[in-house]
Amino acid sequence: MITLLRVLKKTNISKTKSILIRFGAIFLALFTSTLFIHFLGHNPISVYISMLDGCFGSLYRFKETIIKTIPLVIASLGILVAFKMKFWNIGGEGQIYMGAFLSSLVALKLPQVPKPMLLMLMVVAGIIGGGIWALIPALFKAKYGTNETLFTLMMNYIAIKWITYLQFGPWKDPNALGFPKIPNFSDNAILPRLFGVHIGWIFAIILVILTYVFIHHTKKGYEISVIGESENTGRYAGMNVKKIIITAMLISGGLCGLTGMIQASAVNNTLSVELSGGIGYTAIIVTWLSNLSAPLILLVSFLFAILIQGGAYIQTAFQIPQSAAQILQGMILMFVLGSEFFVNYKLVLDREILTYGKDIRKGV
């Protein structure tokens, strides 16, 4: 008799079991990573210690870890707003680039504007750039019911190719030697630093608080949550579903666009096709692992930054190829993400369903 596996959603699970599953995933991640590091010919313990040393071994390294945390926090908050409505915004990457583009346009065209005014204009431009890029799929979703996952994903490629065109074409710095680049911003367009880290960290903390309040304590946030649970319920309650979809995506894209502005101003000091480095995609994972919780996004983003910064450090310390370091990061993420599946779902055999009927559908 052929038996097939079925995936059933767990209706309840104890906190103890949930914690055990996650710790089990971490153990398996470390175990498989240890085997991989050993295969590369290095001492796994030394590599793990070096990863932590790369994040916390000096004040400079710790600051670099914080700098890598900032864009993940802000972009993830943007993704959270869309995901809360079950609008699967996979276009954070493109929205980051378009926010960076519009803020860079302001920076390059108005270099003599006083610093406070110029930075405010760049922030507004970044939010508008990301918001408009997110508005396009939102309008198509609201009016024609298009698939937002594919739509937002495809728009990433358009945004990246647009920046590539600018970098190799009309915005190319004529004085640059070697690889084509866009001219650096004037000093007025660079975000100031506080405690050795650019003030994006202040943006991140404030936005975590504002996003939490918006989602949990405002009418619009409540409407977004209701639409996420059931569009029909929202319609029966008299909500304007199309307007809510557009509003949520404007906020989502705006936050991603702000991320692009911060990266262009404070990290790259110019617009570049390498500006994001996959932040928009990583933010999707961060948001998912945070269980759509703004405060948890702060923690998970920091843990991801440790993984990224530590992975970059061991490349130099142990002469590990970048691809190998990325494989190591990917293995850890695979097990962590896999644990979320087993927290919320379970695999059963079809014959068990036939034998036990409804009882087995009750979860754990």
**Which tens digit of pLDDT belongs to each residue from 4-43?**
677 777 777 777 787 788 788 888 888 898 998 888 888 9
**Which tens digit of pLDDT belongs to each residue from 222-268?**
999 999 988 888 889 889 999 999 999 999 999 999 999 999 999 99
pLDDT band, residue 350 (cuts 50/70/90)? low
Residue 170 within any structural domain of the chain = yes
25 and 75, same domain (yes or no): no
CB 41 within 8 A of CB 172: no
Question: If residue 212 lies in a helix (H) or strand (E), which one and from where to where?
Answer: helix 200-217
246 and 184, same domain (yes or no): yes
CB 327 within 8 A of CB 36: yes
CATH number of 314's domain? 1.10.3470
Residue 178 within any structural domain of the chain = yes
Residue 64 within any structural domain of the chain = no
Strands (E), the chain: 5-9, 193-194, 197-198, 345-349
Residue 57 within any structural domain of the chain = no
User: Residue 99 sits in which domain range?
Assistant: 69-319
116 and 248, same domain (yes or no): yes
Q: Please enumerate in sequence order all residues whose Cβ is within 8 A of that of 341, keeping only pairs 6 or more positions apart, or say none.
A: none
CB 185 within 8 A of CB 108: yes
**Which tens digit of pLDDT belongs to each residue from 304-326?**
999 899 988 988 888 888 788 78
309 and 350, same domain (yes or no): no
238 and 134, same domain (yes or no): yes
238 and 359, same domain (yes or no): no
Residue 58 within any structural domain of the chain = no
CB 283 within 8 A of CB 76: yes
Residue 49 within any structural domain of the chain = no
233 and 327, same domain (yes or no): no
344 and 304, same domain (yes or no): no
305 and 327, same domain (yes or no): no
Residue 159 within any structural domain of the chain = yes
CA distances from 138 to 36, 82, 246 (A): 43, 10, 5
221 and 329, same domain (yes or no): no
- Residue-averaged pLDDT of the chain: 90
pLDDT at 362 over 90: no
Exposure string over 311-321, b if 16+ CB within 10 A, otherwise e: bbbbbebbebe
Secondary structure class of 23 (helix, strand, coil): helix
29 and 164, same domain (yes or no): no
**Which tens digit of pLDDT belongs to each residue from 86-118?**
999 999 999 999 999 999 999 999 999 999 999
pLDDT band, residue 360 (cuts 50/70/90)? very low
Closest Cα partner for 131 from 158, 101, 105, 163?
101
Averaged over 37-65, what is the pLDDT?
A: 92
Residue 52 within any structural domain of the chain = no
Structural domain count of the chain:
2
What integer pLDDT is reported at residue 357 of this predicted model? Answer: 53
Averaged over 140-149, what is the pLDDT?
A: 92
Residue 183: both structure tokens together: 């001219």
What integer pLDDT is reported at residue 363 of this predicted model? Answer: 47
pTM: 0.89
Could you tell me which residue, 12 or 54, shows the higher pLDDT? Answer: 54
